[in-house]
Chains A and B, each alone.
Chain A
Amino acid sequence: METTLQSASKTVVIGPERPFCIIGERINPTGRKAFQAQLQKGDISQLEIDIAEQVAGGAHVLDINVGDPLADEVGLMRRAVVRAQELTDLPLCIDSSIIEALEAGLEVYQGKALVNSVTGEDERLEAILPIVARHGAAVIALANDDEIPMEPQRRYEIARKIVSAAGDHGIPPEDIVIDALAMPIGAEPRAAVLFFETLRLIREGLGVNTTCGASNTSFGLPGRHGLNAHFIATASTHGLTSAIMDARSPACVDGAHAADVLHARDEYGMGWIRTFRARQAAAAAAAG
């Protein structure tokens, strides 16, 4: 199954036969004091730096989250989406837990966006799916409801429920990307194993595309980029087709690209070679 995302001028397709889709996670104020302070003052100039870094790093899609409880998230989202589309031709993933902010972002977005996210509770489905349908967008669906289940079967059932509810709103399964929930291994040693099993159930039972917040996996551990990179490549082998991840990290991006080479989605490793040359050129330019 293939999920098509578009900006005004560019199309990105997520699918098992396509290059692993890198969704850049950086435009997010969580844990970034300076960025939070800027957003509270209505200043979105940081986007320019964050977008440039992630585009250079190799992102295919950019997640936009401007959530801060002391800022006007709805207004900020509207402006951030417009500004981001001036700065990049990559499709965007509009990320908020405030429904009005999702709607504001979608209203000004040019193309077919990815919405992040809906969860399995009836009231969330009924509130968010109509907006996704109205704007012809695709949506990330988290495989949790009023709790985060640790059993893969339970996550799969929630995913199936969401795909079915989306169908009732006229959203085809192609436009659903299930977040199978990557959790910190440092707190739950079997977190990744459960995640891989969830991927298998979704791949075999629903066949829809999948994603996750890849950086969650390494929370609380050292050497995060290396671990994230191997997690991404291993998850790809288990059927993961995209990840919300740190596109500024060469290690993490290499994890995704290596998966493409190993699974013959990058013929002769031409993409791998291209990335190598681009980094070589960037390093040479930086050295003057």
Chain B
Amino acid sequence: MTHDEILKGLYDETLVGNAPAVRDLTNLGLAEDLSPESMLYDGLIPSLEEVGARFERGDYFVPEMLIAARAMQGALDILRPLLIETGVQQVGTFVMGTVKGDVHDIGKNLVNIMLEGAGFTVIDLGVNVSPEKFVEQVIEHKPEIVGFSAFLTTTMPMFKANINALRKAGLRDDVIVMVGGAPVTQEYADIVGADGYAADASTAVRLAKDLIQKRRALVPA
């Protein structure tokens, strides 16, 4: 197979969530001296962007998005060590958790898998995460973004508590805050002082990339 055929194969097989094929093509690409960077940026990421676009148009459904992202993860497991070796700039690190008092994680997990598929490094803190734990993990991992998920109207006020905890620790300006969950609205995100809200996993990934780009534009590296 030519390099172009391998890249097209990665794109096409990721689009339909064929994990074994994506893994085989990734290994084939490496054997054929195709660069990990090219496989990521010319094959896998464009494919997952197309998956996101189809999902947002209503042409793709949640399981299709899920298996596509998982297929891509299989490739990333192979490519990640090589990408780190070559010093390719990471998309970003995302610390994620369901807020204290809340045990719902299906939506959060969908966002995680789409973020990883888009090339983010995701640190998932799980459910029932206290403000102190978020602060501690933001200090440890220095993420570009921290995400708070809540499924209950009674746990949504934890967004504010988490943001206050970040502020108290002097970290608020160092990290972008995104919030989400079934009952959450843009209006509520604005009121608690979050930097971003998205209604679904695909939009969340797009927004995360936009917010990081905006911030990098403000603060030249």
A interface residues with partner B (beta carbon < 8 Å): 29-31, 33, 36, 67-70, 73, 96-98, 144-148, 183-189, 219-222
Contacts and interface: CB of A to CB of B under 8 A. Distances in A.
Nearest to B106: A187
A145 B102 CA distance: 10
Interface stretch (B14-22, B30-38, B81-89, B149-157): B149-157
B190 to A, nearest CB: 11
Nearest to A149: B103
22 contacts: A30-B182, A31-B182, A67-B154, A68-B153, A69-B153, A69-B156, A69-B183, A97-B153, A98-B153, A98-B154, A146-B103, A147-B103, A147-B127, A183-B106, A185-B63, A186-B63, A187-B63, A187-B66, A187-B106, A187-B110, A220-B62, A221-B62
Contact of A69 (B62, B103, B105, B157): B157
Nearest to B186: A33
A146 B183 contact: no
Contacts of B191: 70
Interface string B134-171: 00000000000000000011111100000000000000
A221 B63 contact: yes
A186 B106 CA distance: 10
A187 B63 CA distance: 6
A70 B155 CA distance: 12
Contacts of A144: 103
Contacts of B130: none
Given A69-B156, A187-B106, A187-B109, A36 B185 contact: yes
B128 interface: yes
Contacts of B103: 144-148
A183 B66 CA distance: 16
Residue of A96, A97, A145 with highest tally of chain B CB at under 10 A? A97
B106, B127, B182, B188: residue with the most chain A Cβ atoms closer than 10 Å: B106
Contacts of B157: 69
B104 interface: yes
Interface in B79-128: 103-106, 109-110, 127-128
A115 to B, nearest CB: 15
Query: Which of B103, B109, B110 has its CB near the most chain A CB atoms (within 10 A)?
Result: B103
